[in-house]
Amino acid sequence: MKNMLFLGVSAALSVVCLIGYFLSKSKADSHPEDPKAKKRKKLFFIGVILMGWFFLGTVCNILLGGSKGIHVEFEMFSPRTEVFGISFAETSLIAIGVTGVILVLALWFRIFCVPKFSEDKPTKVQLVMEFAVEWIDKYTHSNVEADTGCLSSYLMALALYMVGCASAELFGLRAPTSDITVTFGMGLITFILINYYSIRKKHLSGRIKGMASPTPVVFPFRIISDIAVPVSLACRLFGNMLGGLIVMELLKGALGGYMFGVAPVAGLYFNLFHPLIQTYIFITLSLTFINEACEGEGYHKKEKKAKA
């Protein structure tokens, strides 16, 4: 009953606004110097958009059932489904899908776009790709002084994966990065990289010596803080992504059909802007931790100095 009333009122008001808009438009066209007519045209335009949103939201409400009040349904750990008799978490299936999409895109770029690259006349795709690769290369080398090999390409893949996962949420799927197992896996990779680069540069003895400096008393605390790195990275990303998810769910529950039109605006912030910042922070923190572990005199340098 209430919905029908809203439907009638919003339809009538949007028709009134539409008529007013066209009337004021013709007036503004015939009298271009009149500032009042232009203002009225603008006001009616805003009214048309608002009333149209109200009307379409009511239609959605009638078709899909209205708001259920503010209560959220979500699970900390994603539900599991069976695929070919193997139990998968839904988020890991989505993550596999995202990886597949990224792989197909990469192959497509490699086969169709890369052969067209030229030094004299760079194509648009080439410029974008060169900018991205150059930025991540420079960023890696400015943060980590040690020889990092192909660390920058790993970071690029990580960034693409995280952005892809976040944009899966725009399609109504649950973002894989809002599952703690996925984020903890990424944190573990960073943990392994920290130790790999540190041991490669300073050897195991140098790494242990670096952890025991300035006094051996700090050694157990250093171990604890090293173990805390993947946990903190995982929890940070997980908490952020889950926070966005819950806010969106709350909005959905509170607005019901009027979520129509609000979802893209709010989603742009919670599902696109926040994950981008988180990606940047994840990369920066990984690089900082790697640099911290690689600091101090390298094993080879010491040998040379002793000989000289």
Partner 1 sequence: MNAIGAALALLPALGAGIMMGFATAKATEAVARQPEASGKINSILLMGLALAESTAIYAFVIALILATSV
Residues contributing to the site for partner 1 (CB under 8 A): 75-76, 232, 235-236, 238-240, 242-243, 277, 280-281, 284-285, 288
Number of Cβ atoms within 10 Å of the Cβ of 289: 22
Q: Which is nearer to partner 1, 192 or 228 (CB)?
A: 228
* Nearest-approach distance from CB 152 to partner 1, in angstroms: 17
With contact defined as beta carbons under 8 Å apart, do 143 and 284 qualify? yes
State how far Cα 86 lies from the chain centre: 29
With contact defined as beta carbons under 8 Å apart, do 11 and 55 qualify? yes
Look at residues 167, 185, 193, 293 and name the one whose alpha carbon lies nearest to residue 237.
185
Omega within 30 of 0 (cis) for the link into 35: no
Element (H, E) at 88: strand 86-89
Q: Which is nearer to partner 1, 230 or 257 (CB)?
A: 230
* Nearest-approach distance from CB 212 to partner 1, in angstroms: 25
Question: Locate tokens 């086969």: which residue?
Answer: 111
Q: Which is nearer to partner 1, 48 or 290 (CB)?
A: 290
DSSP SS3 for 172:
coil
* Nearest-approach distance from CB 281 to partner 1, in angstroms: 4
The four Cα atoms 184, 185, 187, 192 give a dihedral, to 10 degrees, of 140
Q: Which is nearer to partner 1, 94 or 241 (CB)?
A: 241
Q: Which is nearer to partner 1, 112 or 131 (CB)?
A: 131
* Nearest-approach distance from CB 252 to partner 1, in angstroms: 18
* Nearest-approach distance from CB 282 to partner 1, in angstroms: 9
